[in-house]
Structure 1
């Protein structure tokens, strides 16, 4: 018995470090600082001193991958903020409103559209639109809240602008198109689960959805004009990534993403000349950009500290690697996601460990299936988290009971997790 407990000591050390991270997140020390605290504690427990920790962290921030990722996330936040502050997001929604004839489609469209622009608390941006389009429908506020919350996040397992996905492919060093070509079923599952649990006739009847017919004009030119920055960013990023992989394999594919995002930002600035360069300065030094970049700093420091301290080797040795893989791919991402309520947190805290263990076990050919499994598990934790900022803000806006609304999320989140497990076995 003692020898068995001794064998699992490395696993207990790692769990202790993660407990510190979760405590830091819970007490609102910030995700970046919490990850750094957990990484420092982990280094100490595995024999790494403060000086070695500082040296390893300094080297981590000189890596090309870190610089690329920081630039990409910064540009994504600038693009999102520019479209929001200029009113272009709202104009895009207005241009699209004439195409929305189905009451159910009108309920879900604006949350899903806002979901294409990753922004903290984005559900509060779409909540007023859900309220407006459903004013003459007999729909409970708790139903409005859960529809707004769920469909705001349906793209997060697939859409290449989400920082969590950018961070995953950056850590794994794989093109984003290769990863989302495997994770896309998650978006389909969320759409189907959302319809079944929140929108199907047995839940919302035809009488509940009686509303005035849509009278807005259909203007394709306006839709194209207002959506052009998104088209440039998304289509350009995927197209340039593909071109680089095909014609310049020695070149980092991140350059394609950076050029496309820069083009999207430039398009917004050109279409909204009133923003000016002062806007760029305000966004770049703003809290949202600084906090997100600090999270990326913490993730890269944490990743290299684990490697330098021998954490990965010890975890791979435990129980032949099976227990470590299970904890890394299922339990830990779900737990961190549920406690933090944000995808970047569970990716940054748990994926470096998972990738390290897979490499040590010589399972490089299984990297994508395990990453997909961990993504589904972690994101399920995020969606079921009662401290998810989008969930809190949505419930506050619609003035509905949080506990009653939260219970409506349990079943679809269970389906999401099960689909991730099924997809894992399929990809293997």
Structure 2
């Protein structure tokens, strides 16, 4: 029972440390040490932390996370993002589609606090449609994040796949009905008073389409290579990064090989290192180190029995605990990293286990979406000068619809 107490205290300590802005990775290491001491592992805890850090799956996951961050940074700094949005404005005349698409395309870059990037476009369109600050904030938040439920390059989804043993496409297939239901509900809530188009009669130009494809080319290549041709994520991301370094969506003129190579080399020297998100590296490393100690401590089977003896249905625990962890920390990655190792021993195998993992992922996402510590909520609310209670009123129905759909999907699978 001492190991269970240690696990619970570690969980609470991690959340407390995160509230005081301690890096997630450091907080997880502290939690791992607490679990090790409570379980009687002693100095072996240090060895286990090191083993968790140098494990092959950890190193691969770290490489993927680092490369995704570099790819997003290069695309932002080279003007791909601006070109993408300019092309979108030229191609789409429907305000509803544009309001959904702009934050969604920004989400492809996985930039922290990225909702603030699409906020000016949402604000400009929203003003023409006389939308309230709360409505604009809700649109920007929902359509910035809802696509992550099925986005293969989303770091938290990659972590969930790594921790649970279920491949990304299986988790995406589970999440897809909930994502579509959420889009439908949000479409109804946010656009019920919006109709028509901008009255622009500009003919769609092939050049605009090509500019959009060109600006998205690095991401397109990564997704096609990894999902269609089944190439490992790391070499696929390497191709995407190389393409982003050589790609110049802001230039319409043709360039020769020397110019392209020179541009790519100069960018490599100035963009790769700044594109490395050290905080994210520490976070993922800490999660995997914590996982290793928890696995070897023997506390998980004991804690699982403790939860079962409480008489609370497993599906309810799988929903509530990740939701609260995300809400308390404002970090989707932290919630998934904390709770999958705790629940994994309790879950059945096959599609039934996938049902629970999918519910855990969706629950964590919902808690993250409305957490007052969530950076996108804070930045977007301030940008639009919105009332937070009004924002939550706009978000609540889509969230309920997503949750109900996820629960139904889980019950079908289990």
The TM-score, its normalising length taken from structure 2, stands at 0.89
- 1:96–1:397 CA distance, 2 compared to 1 (3 A): same
1:126 aligned partner: 118
The reply to whether residue 232 of structure 1 matches residue 208 of structure 2 is no
- Give the deviation of 1:367 after TM superposition: 2.4
1:145–1:395 Cα contact (<8 Å) kept: yes
- 1:324–1:34 CA distance, 2 compared to 1 (3 A): farther
Q: Give the distance between the partners of 2:351 and 2:402, measured in 1 at CA.
A: 25
The reply to whether residue 213 of structure 1 matches residue 200 of structure 2 is yes
Task: Trace 1:25-424 onto structure 2 (pairs within 5 A).
Answer: 25-49=18-42, 51-200=43-192, 204-206=193-195, 211-213=198-200, 215=202, 217-219=204-206, 220-241=209-230, 256-272=232-248, 276-277=264-265, 279-280=267-268, 284-286=272-274, 289-318=277-306, 320=308, 323=312, 325-326=314-315, 329-358=318-347, 363=349, 366-424=352-410
SS at match of 2:54: coil
2:412 aligned partner: 426
Deviations 1:359-415 (A, max 9, x none): xxx645532111101011111101121111001111111122223323322232222
Unpaired segments of 5 or more residues in structure 1?
1-5, 242-254
Unpaired segments of 5 or more residues in structure 2?
249-259
Q: Which has the higher contact order (CA 8 A, sep 6+)?
A: 2
Q: Give the distance between the partners of 1:227 and 1:128, measured in 2 at CA.
A: 21
- Give the deviation of 1:210 after TM superposition: 7.0
CA RMSD of superposed structures (Å): 2.4
Q: Give the distance between the partners of 2:411 and 2:316, measured in 1 at CA.
A: 17
Q: Give the distance between the partners of 1:167 and 1:20, measured in 2 at CA.
A: 22
Alignment length (residue pairs): 399
SS at match of 1:426: helix
Deviations 1:151-190 (A, max 9, x none): 1111111100100011111122333223212222222122
SS at match of 1:357: coil
The TM-score, its normalising length taken from structure 1, stands at 0.86
- Give the deviation of 1:239 after TM superposition: 1.7
